Structure 1
């Protein structure tokens, strides 16, 4: 008997419309692309979506057919020519692989072009046009997806992350693959239903507080009879696009899916005020760290998080650390020019730098100082928490000592998920009062074993957690919390018709 064949591919980007003016659009060179056997080698055994798909194929007796997978670090909205090129590559690989029995796609869900159009919808449309209406198409998306209604009508399975930090990527991909492969026999044809809410949530971890309450509710609903998968999407608040919305997406029987969506959406709307953010300026975060009983304290530089699309070179928190007198390390500051100067000077050299601050108010002023080069590395680490097993490349990187504060300066813009980049540069966490990392929530998983004191600083910038302070156009100005008086009508759910 011929084994089923599953086409595995993806085009992943979280796209901020606010960052286009700051850094220019995300272009083709920003994407890491893997295809064919290289895709298998890159992702096998990793806690990623594609890693989860590949593991599921092995468990389910399905042959994975590797297509094209492209991912760029979250950033400014994507240049249309780059999106078109990558989409064409993915579709060409699908045509070459055809016929296939099932399609497993890794998408973010908040991908957007400079025009505001959904990158994810364009990919799904193109794939559906190739495989036709009957081949099961599964999509896995980020918890921060902004999903157009049409996308949900084109897929047979849609599963999103339930955890933030996203430590459940492989597990959710396994579920999506299992549901798609289960449809090959025709014995089960669940539906996908989505209910959107007129709201966006600021970055809200599921490790504590209202995010944890919401996650637990969704898991409880997912355990109900006839519900196969349930996801609440917080939405991506740094995209001013028509599809930017929080939503609930459920896979199951029509009645069960619609009931699940009503339950979760109603509870989230009723408790929305619990998600409001009390911003913590960098100076207050550092003062809190000073008063803490244990060491080290870990501070996420939340506004300058490359994982939300930020430039990664903000100096506001760094300046507060330099003024504090505390023994601190900040990782990583994206400044290729400073890296080059340090590499030229060599380990042990004293160098004059103008560190960071390359994007005006979004980054703060450069820090002008003389420092000592302590280490030079290739910046390559293997992640140990989120995306465990996957290599992360910060590019050539250096550790620069500015008095009591060490700064790990990188030539690539990357979010710090765990201590590996610190360890690579000889930074031993327990020897510092404060570790500051360019991240807003994902660092919690990687640093939970380092410290019991994890907090977030809110510096000025276009990716502030105070999402209602951002300039908004008609697409999102009428959403909560931007409009605190908006109402939530009981609109019908959208989804692909039952087959």
Structure 2
């Protein structure tokens, strides 16, 4: 079995496009051929899961091209065309594939509002035809158009947020594809979309955990090969935004429909539990109890680079600087401040203005006098989400201003775990407050540091209150933007190949 592994991965915020511009080709990390295998094997990523499944399943692995950029504004058409052309050339180089395993996000947007994922799948199908089995993994926060489920034979999304199950879900998608090749399964994929927007909701607690467990229980039913509830990505103002339920069965469309309807009915009935009340920055900082033994870990959720946030929002940092509570903060995206620290050198005192360079949502720039404690290259190996995968924050500086240690970074990147703090000699457990640029992924990486975890909300490109963002039709009529929106009684799962 000749199995091609490839992907173009991007989570695109149309609101970020308006602030930071479109995402260009230079923003993508691209790996081809054996370099793809070397980069991703033995990592908790989708590509890593695909590689593992091919090896375990006795398939001949053909690594084509994998491109990924950090979440940001919509991808420029030129960048998409360049990357897509390279990917298609790699797929078409050699004998025909028996199967293709694609790593996609599901909320990729080609500027201004086309689905990157649907467009890529359409071109792949045009190249290879209908014969090869095409399996796709997607993020829990995907906004997949209906066309995706006509083009792909198997679609499996993450069930966990934090996304600690990337490799596991990729293995499931690959196993179904390989079973289809061996004649052991005939996958049928069905999709049901709900007119609702959900704020980012971690699956380790509350209603989101119950929904996750329900989807897992569905996969234990005879004949169900994969089941995913896509929470959707509310920061993409496109016609594809919203919640979707997707079930893959073994030649049983009626069973897939029943599973989708059952999950959709539960989610609609419990929808109000997903809203909650956002915690303000002031409330979060005020919850700290110095001397309690374990720190309070606060996520700067409204400025999460992992959702397209600018990474230089100052609302939470300003609140920390206004207190005398021992705190550490990682990371503030400010290449200029890093350069100033490098020029001054370790041990020097510098006067710098930090962050706040992308409009009112990001807060005001903060003038501080700080001591340069450390300078690093910002390179780490992730230990929770995407475990084993290398990452770089670019050149970084540790600055101490008052009672706050601040890691300032040259690259905009979410904080998943304590590694970037440790790289700068910061022991998080020694602080009363540990603040990180993240929404919920930090919950996995910092669980060993403390069981006191809070996501703070403020103005920002990834504010939890999705009602504060403008939306165009048809999404502007979705719940909770329209609190009176009723469950669509005639909602039926479309028939897909």
Shorter-chain-normalised TM-score: which range?
A: over 0.9
Partners in 2 of 1:226 and 1:452 — Cα distance? 39
Equivalence for 2:44: 47
Equivalence for 2:201: 204
Partners in 1 of 2:121 and 2:131 — Cα distance? 14
Equivalence for 2:53: 56
| TM-score, structure 2 as length reference | 0.98
Equivalence for 1:247: 244
Counterpart of 2:216 (choices 212, 215, 219) is 219
Counterpart of 2:165 (choices 168, 172, 179) is 168
Partners in 2 of 1:79 and 1:430 — Cα distance? 42
Offset at 1:369?
A: 1.1
Equivalence for 1:429: 428
Cα distance change, pair 68–79 in 1 and its aligned pair in 2 (3 A): same
Partners in 2 of 1:6 and 1:365 — Cα distance? 51
**Correspondence 1:230-241 to 2 at 5 A:** 230-241=227-238
**Correspondence 1:82-121 to 2 at 5 A:** 82-121=79-118
Partners in 2 of 1:482 and 1:334 — Cα distance? 32
Instruction: Report the secondary structure of 1:409's partner residue.
Output: strand
Equivalence for 1:494: 494
Equivalence for 2:397: 398
Partners in 1 of 2:95 and 2:84 — Cα distance? 17
> Size of the alignment, in residue pairs?
494
Partners in 2 of 1:97 and 1:345 — Cα distance? 54
Equivalence for 1:188: 185
Partners in 2 of 1:136 and 1:283 — Cα distance? 52
**Correspondence 1:99-498 to 2 at 5 A:** 99-252=96-249, 253-290=252-289, 293-489=292-488, 490-497=490-497
Instruction: Report the secondary structure of 1:68's partner residue.
Output: strand
Offset at 1:327?
A: 0.4
Instruction: Report the secondary structure of 1:170's partner residue.
Output: helix
Offset at 1:462?
A: 2.7
Equivalence for 1:26: 23
Counterpart of 1:77 (choices 74, 81, 92) is 74
Contact 1:395 1:412 in 2 (8 A): yes
Instruction: Report the secondary structure of 2:357's partner residue.
Output: coil
Offset at 1:332?
A: 0.4
| TM-score, structure 1 as length reference | 0.98
Offset at 1:73?
A: 0.4
Partners in 2 of 1:206 and 1:291 — Cα distance? 29
Partners in 2 of 1:210 and 1:337 — Cα distance? 42
Contact 1:7 1:97 in 2 (8 A): no
Higher deviation after alignment, 276-285 or 169-178: 276-285
Offset at 1:493?
A: 1.0
Offset at 1:495?
A: 4.4
Instruction: Report the secondary structure of 2:316's partner residue.
Output: helix
Partners in 1 of 2:483 and 2:293 — Cα distance? 39
Offset at 1:143?
A: 0.1
Offset at 1:131?
A: 1.3
Partners in 2 of 1:371 and 1:495 — Cα distance? 61
